[in-house]
Structure 1
């Protein structure tokens, strides 16, 4: 069994499209296939001055922390610091990068696989160090992910593609998210790659699509595999009940 650790750069994830991310799905992902979750840390910011003065903020924040703990994560808080620069402008800072890096390096001695949730290129050196210790490092991010971080990791996966990791809108029941592959611009068709998560792990699936079944005005977006699309799957009676994607929309960043 692969001993797995999850490290979540929560503030980066929250500000980069991962707001509302479900930690229980991360646990399911880490425990699927030939893997068992051994360590799970989430690094979050807290404004102590606000928690003292704002009861509603404090209750919501601590309730959120408790939900994360109930999923099996250790919550590591980084307290927000306020600074006034030379021009008199107030700035805030709550960077937990150093805490995450040190914890991961110390704990990696007992791990085989590390799932790092961030898009921050500052973690490139950490990824290399973990790999040199013999760990496989998999990065999951949402928007604004460093291209060099993607290339350095053993694998990169958009968090938008992990089933259930982000809540779908109320009208999104049965909808899937995928990325385009092998799009033939001349003929207007290609395939969408999406994923299914089960006890056996994360499994990639593909489904045929035609650009006429989408709402996009310019089909050039299907040539970029970084674009994420939402769609439904139906059987087309006009094509021998072939399984196809329909009602395809571009997921805006």
Structure 2
């Protein structure tokens, strides 16, 4: 699927990839992810898209965003919008589809292969547009959850579908060792 001399760009829909990895039961090690694609091709750019809640004292995603920003990823963020839905529940909305689509179209003339980390069916027209510019498109998501986390029409449109679960051993963060509670053997007390 990948050629050593092709120019490659990664487009990561942060919230979509996070949800897919969580559904599969693992955390992504973004250093391993970037290194894996650098090994496969000539990585031109790795974009990561996420919305941030600005008014929170602490945002759980802020450490990740900062780490990615310092470690070779091009961060594209915007403030998330907070609203109350019709049932009175507080919701946060932060769709980054337009930003990702614009960046992908701008990069299309400089790359041979695009890897989109998202299962969002709204990206199908983007994938078709990128393909018309003679760029191959691989989509990374999962069909191993119920329901699948990739829209069928996006999967059909892509040149390649990469099952996220099959990347788990390559880009998954190793599980943290579980510390056993300190125990004392009853015979040692005697």
TM-score (norm 1): 0.60
The answer to which structure, 1 or 2, has the higher relative contact order (CA under 8 A, 6+ apart) is 2
Q: Residue 16 of structure 1: which of 20, 27, 43 is its match?
A: 20
Match of 2:43 among 29, 37, 45: 37
Query: Which of residues 155, 158, 164 in structure 1 aligns to 2:163?
Result: 158
Distance in 1, matches of 2:87 and 2:67, equals 40
Q: Which has the larger radius of gyration?
A: 1
Q: Are the counterparts in 2 of residues 27 and 71 from structure 1 also a CA contact under 8 Å? A: no
Residue in structure 2 matched with residue 7 of structure 1 by the alignment = 11
Among 136, 150, 153, which residue is 1:145 paired with?
150
Partner in structure 1 of residue 55 of structure 2? 49
Contact preservation (8 Å) 1:159, 1:165: no
SS of aligned partner of 2:68:
helix
- Once the two structures are TM-superposed, the CA of residue 2 in structure 1 deviates from its matched residue by 0.7
Tell me the CA shift for residue 85 of structure 1. Answer: 4.3
Larger relative strand fraction: 1
* Structure 1 residues 107-126: aligned runs within 5 Å: 107-126=107-126
In structure 2, how many angstroms separate the alpha carbons of the residues matched to 1:24 and 1:136? 24
The answer on whether the counterparts of 1:23 and 1:71 sit within 8 Å (CA) in structure 2 is: no
> For 2:61, what is the secondary structure of its paired residue?
helix
Equivalent pairs counted in the alignment come to: 164
CA distance in 2, matches of 1:167, 1:27: 13
Structure 1: gaps of 5 or more residues = 172-253
2:14–2:50 Cα contact (<8 Å) kept: yes
In structure 2, what is the Cα distance between the partners aligned to 1:105 and 1:62? Answer: 27
**Do the aligned residues in 2 keep the contact of 1:22 with 1:164 (CA within 8 Å)?**
no
